[in-house]
Amino acid sequence: MNFEKINNPATYHDSFVKYQDRFISFTKDFDIVGVGWEYADNKSASYMLRLLLEGNKARPRGLGKKVKNDEMSSDLRKYYMHLLDHGAFWKMSNGRVFFTGMPYADEKLTTDTFLEMVRKYQYPENIKLRFLDEKYKYRPNGTLMAMIYDSNLDAYFPVNRMSLCEQGKSM
């Protein structure tokens, strides 16, 4: 996946960023150096999982071979409105990747949608969902900001600004 470099969040301009101060807080607090504004609902479930686990080293399977690669798919389209809407993949300075969405849903519906997705595609238990503080919501779209990530990144995140949804537990 190609990530657009974010050299200086204060001077970064994109039509997706409406609240510059929140964007600056978000990129600083989460050590973000790049963004992929690609829609997650166009990715395969397997490629999204590899992005979350392997970071920016993840590549689509079959790329450059005579077989169809697994990057593009409609696997996740069902989860768009209540989980993946207004989403982006974020690259951290350590090369790791996480996803945020700003869906039109409450925490319960987003949690239920996440749990359905991880069960269907058998994502490992270390793939987590967290809800981020309003401080980070850099655009007006959606009713909340949700993050899907590998829990091995917990040490890098400001957990006091996040609420955790454990897999297998609906809110």
The per-residue pLDDT for range 42-71, each reduced to its tens digit, is: 888 998 999 999 998 887 766 555 555 666
Query: Could you tell me how many residues make up the chain?
Result: 171
Tokens of 130: 């967290």
CA distance linking residue 72 with residue 86, whole number of Å: 18
The per-residue pLDDT for range 93-146, each reduced to its tens digit, is: 999 999 999 999 999 999 999 999 999 999 999 999 999 999 999 999 999 999
Confidence grade of residue 171 (pLDDT, cut at 50, 70, 90): very low
